[in-house]
Amino acid sequence: MKARNYLCIAIAVLATSASAQVMSLKECITMGLEHNLQVRSQAQDVSLADVTCTENRNRLLPVIQGFVNLTDNLHRGTSVTDGSGISKLLGMDVPYMKNQGLQYTAQTGVQAQMPLYDPTIRIGIDMADRMRELSRLSLDKAREELTMQIAQLYYLAQTTNEQLRLTERNIWSLEALDTITRALRQEGMVLAVDVKRLNINLANQRTVHDNLQATLEQQLNLLRYAMDLSPDEPLMVEPLASNYSRMNSVQFNGMSSDLLELQVIDKQRQVTERQRRQVKAGYLPSLSLVGQVSWANFTDKFEHYFQDHASNHWYNNTMVGLQLNIPVFDRHTKRNAIHKTDIALDKLALARESAEKQLHTQYLNGLNDWHNNRRTMDTQRENYMLAQEVYDVAANQYREGVTSMSTLLQDEMNVTTAQNAFVASAYKYLMSELTLLRLTSQLDLLSR
């Protein structure tokens, strides 16, 4: 009865797997790069950098603004002038003259200013361009990390799925053996303990199968999240054997010289160098073209603005000029800023040297692991095939009554151990290959 129930469950699982969408690694990576939320957020940073570049270029354009002023002189101002001229005219001694302004003053006009020479603006534009390139490198780095993440999850799911397939195969084999053993028991050719031993082994395999099924679903959920797929979306990976063709074609001929980690540090150095130049440019004078067109009105009563009064007259004032700003003393602000950028440049130089050595060490170790894992995988495949042949011979001998149940179950355990060792070695090989693909800038092979 238990075997019949398990048969129904297995058929249901196979039907569900058949209805799931089998996606290749290339399809998963392509979909992830298009829909992953973190990558899309990083792409928005690139758009923001584009806006910043445009903003810095717009600093070369003129600034034009209009203005309107209305002033109520609560205490009218007084101007004092020399009275010698009026003294001669009037023939009397007037040492000085006092003139008092009117109560209300209104003014309107347009002001304009445009930089003619300002080195900080030019350097700022160049620095914004470098910042945009740095944002694009950060986007490429995010895409690379996502590719690595999807590949790792995909390989992990493939490994679990392969273990699940092999476990189902073992279960079918044990169930067939259980049928034969029960028939032999009825004829008195085997002991009752042999049937119990077989049932224990079969129950263990079913438990392993259920655990693998749950693990595979968890791994597929993580893969769906990386691809921004709905948790209810049917998904299944290709068999582990689908990677074998690429295993025999990939070549590694040394670490790439343009890894994204090094490019990011180089671009950060370029940005810092332009920051230093921009600070030094602050010592230079800047020249701007300025201009203004305005009209002013003066009256002693507010209501005269709305009446045909003699004081209701607008006086024009138009000017064009040059404005030269010369920095004199800024409390050593620029000197301290230059010192900070010098320290930052030294740190970036050390960071690049350290990163280059670390990446080179990772490549050497990864290449060694890749060769060792390849040899181990080939050996474990041969061991698995040999263990399977030994088990098949023992199963035939058991049916003929030549060998014992203990020997057969021991050979079955050897097959299971060899299966797990082979699948684990294949996963280690794929992970070492993935590391080398990144260090040699060949990750695009996974999405071709």
The CATH number given to whatever domain includes residue 238 is 1.20.1600.10
Structural domains in the chain (count)? 1
Rounded CA gap, 19 and 136, in Å? 40
Task: Give me the pLDDT at residue 91, please.
Answer: 67
85 lies in a domain?
A: no
Query: Which residues, at least 6 apart from 16, have a Cβ–Cβ distance to it below 8 Å?
Result: 234
Could you tell me the two tokens for 292? 């203004």
Q: Three-state SS for 113?
A: strand
103 lies in a domain?
A: no
**Whole-number percent of the chain with pLDDT over 70:** 94
Stronger pLDDT, 308 or 253, i.e. the higher one? 253
Query: Do 194 and 178 touch, CB atoms closer than 8 A?
Result: no
107 lies in a domain?
A: no
At 153, the amino acid letter reads L
Task: Give me the pLDDT at residue 16, please.
Answer: 46
- Condensed to tens digits (0 to 9), the pLDDT of residues 132-159 reads 999 999 999 999 999 999 999 999 999 9
126 lies in a domain?
A: yes
208 lies in a domain?
A: yes
Domain range for residue 374?
Answer: 25-61+118-284+327-447
Q: Is the pLDDT score of 413 beyond 80? A: yes
Q: Is the pLDDT score of 19 beyond 60? A: no
Averaged pLDDT, 244-255? 81
77 lies in a domain?
A: no
Give the CA radius of gyration of the chain: 42
Task: Give me the pLDDT at residue 14, please.
Answer: 44
What average pLDDT does the structure give for the chain?
89
155 lies in a domain?
A: yes
Task: Give me the pLDDT at residue 13, please.
Answer: 44
10 lies in a domain?
A: no
Rounded CA gap, 30 and 229, in Å? 13
Rounded CA gap, 170 and 205, in Å? 8
